[in-house]
A and B are shown apart, each in its own frame.
Chain A
Amino acid sequence: MRYLPLTSSDRAAMLETIGVAGVDDLFVDVPAAARLSGPIEGLPPHASEMAVERHMTALAAKNLSAGSVPFFLGAGAYRHHVPASVDHLIQRGEFLTAYTPYQPEIAQGTLQVLFEFQTQVARLFGTDIANASMYDGSTACWEAILMAARITRRGRTVLSGGLHPHYGEVVRTMAKFTQDDIVSLAPELVADPDDAAVITQIDADTSSVVVQYPDVLGRIPDLAAIADAAHAKGALLVVVVTEPVALGMIEAPGVLGADIVVGEGQSLGVGLQFGGPYLGLFGCREKFVRQMPGRLCGQTVDAAGKRGFVLTLSTREQHIRREKATSNICTNSGLCALAFSIHLTLLGGEGVARLAGLNHEKAQMTFDRLARIPGVSLLNAAYFNEATVLLPRDAREVVRDLADRGILGGVSLGRLFPVADGLHNGLLVAVTETTTDDDIEAFAVALEAILAGETA
């Protein structure tokens, strides 16, 4: 077996050193009745690298990859161009095959990356500080709600109707067990987000309000107004960013008064990967640092006086505090954080701003073109690189028909909100710098043909 270095004679010599006759003597603590006498039946034996590659390649070929067709999906996962050097660098064995930097003297590479990552996230979000990452945007969102509850000592949370419905489901699932009170506003197909409805819901028992920016329909809430209303009642504003590239163009949530900003970092460096692994981003005000979940990397000095980095404030964490920890999180998304950080280092602040500008420009071209199709209109008063278009019929069928024509034409609101009435004619369309003029035209032509009842 190509991954197992022990030879038969090694094994024999080692068993002799240990003083047992055979390897089964090392499993004597396993009750005899539970011990398996040989390989489990019905499972295939080992296979060569060639054979495995053939098998996996055949499975991959059954999928329609985004890069092979005109592609317009978003809804919390975006297809951006990732520079070649990112994937090369994250495969350096010293990064790829290291673990959580428990021994900082031989993990300064990972630790300095985390320090740079925390700085990048904080500056992008406009927050004082950020942590070393969470699993993904949805779990970061729930952790932010818990953190707000610890800070305010209140248990009521208001979710905007513009929050990604899967994020909302994660929150409601968890809250069911922790008995937190979650008020979920219903999404509505209107041009502007539900800022006023959110503000109306804030009361003296409210711990936090959770607002997505831009929201799941691509609209942009007025964070400053919501922050003022929340703070007036002693509540915190939690802002969720599922498309961090947007922050190259629209104001940072922290600057607008957000207390905790969480997000999905997948857009930069990570890729689509059918939904994971992704990267939870988590920033907040410095005064809340001791209530933060997850790992934190901090600057210090070594015994010779050189600058160095360590994991710090670990008295918040499960391995020290056990059941009193701020979260049960242990392993996070280190390698995805590295990819995000490299991509952002390549871009720099000016690069992010230009990238955002290109995304928005392509989106303008797309929505201008789609709105010229009879029966199609744009919902949003404002958008960044994603918006909702209204179709004359259920968008789920249209998405399937588009796929039949070789076009991945957005996410239907029926898929995202299966139980909500009145949304099913909405189609969520995302556009990035990877979208070409030809893609836009092919999408528009196919959509027009489908809506006109033409068969493929």
Chain B
Amino acid sequence: MNAPNASGWRPSLGDAAQAKNATSSGDYALMLEEALSFELGSADKCGVDLEAPGRAPAAGLAKFMRKAAPVLPGLTEPETVRHYTRLSRQNYGIDLGPFPLGSCTMKHNPRLNEKMARLPGFADVHPLQPQATVQGALEVIEQLAHWLITLTGMASVAMSPKAGAHGELCGLLCIRAALDARGEKRDVVLVPESAHGTNPATAAFAGFKVESIPATPAGRVDLAALKSKLGPNVAGVMITNPNTCGLFEPDMRAIADAVHAVGGYVYCDGANFNAIVGKVRPGDLGIDAMHINLHKTFSTPHGGGGPGAGPVVLSEALAPFAPLPFVTRGDDGSMHLVEEENASEGHGQAFGRMVAFHGQMGMFTRALTYILSHGADGLRQVAEDAVLNANYVLRACADVLPAPFADSGPCMHEALFSDSGLAPGFSTLDIAKGLIDEGFHPMTVYFPLVVKGAMLVEPTETESKAGLDRFITSLRSVAQRAKDGDDSLHAAPHYAPRRRLDETLAARKPVLVWQGEPGMAGTPSLSEIGGS
């Protein structure tokens, strides 16, 4: 194992349950503890062979030189590989088992995507190379754009947004620009109370006032309430469809017509596009702008929290305002990048620029690879299987966990449950932590906010029936324990790398950076203070 350095760190001895068979190392076979890299490394170690420079720095640089190297210990390559490999084993990923995190579409990440993104022609190309030397890269953007436009039935797509929330921002800024072009000042955006937190945050970030629209008891947008809020001050609405309760909004067209009738625009949060790709085109529902999370529907890896990618498809009405840069194909088939330099040639109404370069190229190559692998028929099958899997979970568990909208028909690609009816003192959190012990990543919990103790299960299409059956058995078992008042659930997880963590302590006395000194006896770490 990696030996701790002189900082004094040592692994804690584990909890009381393990104490009777305690090991001297603090590790338990394949359950391996790992110190911080700073506690392992030292200033005289380096994992990269670099010669010392042979000449003195230029005279002009002298007054800017730092007095000492940054205080960061290094590790050699074998120690580095071991450090991160040991850390990786404390993580749950899709590769280990079902990861039914609602609204996140944790589907299998095909490895061909990774291989293609690493071709030097994509991975080792600079964003500001002369355009004649990056024709293939621009063509990837154009081909992916064509697929996204065609799958959604929209007029155009802005490719540069970096993630879903950034795409929301792009869509709302297109709306702002379109209103400005009409000479209108409208300052209200309507957002259903069931929306992702990013929706109201984005509307505020784009300078709008947010007004909330309630949901009906059937889990849909309350059309009458929405209509009552429409007026000349409404810039638009942000609707998630399928919505965060896992349901399709059957009134989408009527909502869009009503909003358009008062001169507003319709933004759709496309986080749940996986349920309808190839089955419905949002453009046919009257939508003006919708972001597509390439890391959800189109399988680019979630990476422990990004990077994502959030291209925004746009209607005819909003297309002229899409931000720079922009890729076009000339009559001779050559690809062109429209930037500030040449924006007046046919794209003079662009609202500006959202990122330094051209967006998430590494995600575009992966998403295009995924899309070409599935084709039009395969993508349709993706939606059907995703919806089938979710309905299967819904029907297989609805007798042990309340499913608040199960009576109103099938769900889309995620099944929503509530923690009503558990034994007193038991809640969604206990079920989530119990599922961890069962070997699963829990579902999304306490979202959407409109359902008490919400549990949002999104299996995705890449789970097998046998895998789902195992998950269902575990979910039913844990739910039953919570109904029966099994106190051991309160202490779950018992078998994870960590027991429940003290989030209150973390927030009350934030420790956001390591405070020790490398290679020196540092302050005792919390593992030593708190260890058994």
User: What 0/1 pattern do residues 405 to 422 of A give for CB contact below 8 A with B?
Assistant: 000100100111011000
- Determine the distance from Cα of A349 to Cα of B70 in the docked complex, in whole angstroms: 5
A105:B70 contact, CB within 8 angstroms: no
Query: Restricting to A126-161, which residues have a CB under 8 Å from any CB of B?
Result: 128-130, 132-133, 135-139
A108 with B498: in contact, given A64-B134, A166-B353, A400-B130 (CB under 8 Å)? yes
Q: Is the CB of A351 within 8 A of B50?
A: yes
A272 touches B197 (CB 8 A): no
- Interface locus among A231-239, A243-251, A435-443: A243-251
A1-B378, A346-B75 given; A135·B163 CB < 8 A = yes
Q: How far is the CA of A125 from the CA of B126 in the complex (A)?
A: 25
The interface bits of chain A over 10-42 (1 if a CB of B lies within 8 angstroms of the residue's CB, else 0) are 110111011110010111111101111011101
Could you tell me if B75 and A274 are in contact, using CB atoms closer than 8 angstroms? no
A357–B433 Cα distance when bound, in Å, is 50
B236 close to A (CB within 8 Å): no
Closest residue of B by beta carbon distance from A326: B201
The answer to whether A93 touches B94 (Cβ under 8 A) is yes
Given the known inter-chain contacts A169-B352, A276-B360, please indicate yes or no for A97 contacting B94, CB distance below 8 A: yes
Kindly state whether residue A257 has any CB partner on chain B within 8 Å.
no
In the complex, whether A202 has a CB less than 8 A from a CB of chain B is no
Excluding A65-B125, A88-B81, 15 further A-B contacts by CB distance (< 8 Å) are A66-B129, A97-B95, A100-B304, A105-B436, A138-B356, A170-B352, A252-B66, A274-B358, A274-B362, A303-B501, A307-B526, A319-B447, A345-B37, A355-B48, A360-B57
- Sample of 18 A–B contacts (CB below 8 Å): A3-B373, A49-B112, A97-B95, A100-B306, A106-B91, A110-B305, A123-B72, A139-B355, A170-B354, A248-B69, A273-B123, A300-B526, A303-B501, A305-B531, A306-B12, A328-B165, A333-B305, A416-B128
B484 contacts partner chain A, Cβ-Cβ < 8 Å: no
Contacts A13-B465, A331-B163; is A85 near B80 (CB within 8 Å)? yes
B45 partner residues in chain A, CB cutoff 8 A:
348
Q: A1-B381, A46-B374, A357-B53 are in contact. Are A350 and B67 (CB under 8 A)?
A: no
Assembled-state Cα–Cα distance A114/B304 (Å): 10
* CB atoms of A277 and B363 under 8 A apart: yes
In the assembled complex, the CB of A205 is this many whole angstroms from the nearest CB of chain B, namely: 20
Measured in the bound complex, the distance between the Cα atoms of B380 and A248 in whole Å is 51
How far in angstroms is the closest Cβ of chain B from A356? 9
Contact size range, A:
35 or more
What per-residue 1/0 map shows which CB atoms of A288-331 lie under 8 Å from chain B?
01000001111111111111111011010111111111011111
Instruction: Kindly identify which residue among B73, B130, B352, B357 contacts A172, using a CB–CB cutoff of 8 Å.
Output: B352
Please tell me if the beta carbons of B48 and A346 are within 8 angstroms of each other in the complex. yes
Contacts A30-B250, A135-B162 known; A333 to B307 CB distance under 8 Å? yes
**How many angstroms from the CA of A297 to the CA of B362 in the assembled complex?**
26
With contact pairs A299-B506, A350-B43 given, residues A170 and B356 touching in the complex (Cβ less than 8 Å): yes
* B203 CB–A CB distance under 8 Å: yes
A447 and B441 CA atoms in complex are apart in Å by: 58
Report whether B137 and A112 are in contact in the complex, using a CB–CB cutoff of 8 Å: no
Contact B126 A99 (CB under 8 A): no
How far apart are B34's CB and chain A's nearest CB, in angstroms? 7
With contacts A112-B36, A300-B501 taken as known, whether A349 is within 8 angstroms of B250 at the C-beta atoms is no
B335-369 CB contact bits vs A (8 Å, 1 = yes)? 00001111000000001111111111111010011
Which residues of chain B come closer than 8 Å to A275, judged between CB atoms? 127, 355-359, 361
Task: Out of B143, B432, B512, name the residue touching A129 (CB < 8 Å).
Answer: B512
Q: Is the CB of B126 within 8 A of A338?
A: no
Partner of B70, one of A44, A123, A312: A123
A325 to chain B, nearest CB (A): 4
- How long is the Cα–Cα vector from A120 to B305 in the complex, in angstroms? 18
CA distance A225 to B392 in the complex (A): 66
Q: Do A273 and B373 have beta carbons less than 8 Å apart?
A: no
A75 within 8 A of B: yes
- CB <8 Å contact, A101 and B305: yes
CB atoms of B43 and A6 under 8 A apart: no
CA distance A34 to B252 in the complex (A): 11
B197: contacting residue among A255, A318, A331, CB under 8 A: A318
A178 contacts which of B80, B126, B207, B499 (Cβ < 8 Å)? Answer: B207
Tell me the bound Cα distance from A30 to B383 in angstroms.
13
A14 CB, nearest partner CB in chain B, Å: 5
CA distance A318 to B93 in the complex (A): 24
Whether B505 contacts A249 by the Cβ 8 Å rule is: no
Knowing A3-B374, A136-B356, say if A93 contacts B96 (CB, 8 Å). Answer: yes
In whole Å, how far is A52's beta carbon from the nearest beta carbon of chain B? 5
Cβ of B115 within 8 Å of any chain A Cβ, yes or no, is: yes
Chain A residue contacts of B501, Cβ below 8 A: 104-105, 300-303, 308-310
In the complex, residue of chain A having the shortest beta-carbon distance to the beta carbon of B437: A105
Known interface pairs A44-B376, A64-B134. Does A346 touch B409 (Cβ–Cβ under 8 Å)? no
Q: A17-B392, A173-B351, A415-B341 are in contact. Are A99 and B77 (CB under 8 A)?
A: no
Stretch of A53-61, A369-377, A448-456 at the chain-chain interface:
A53-61
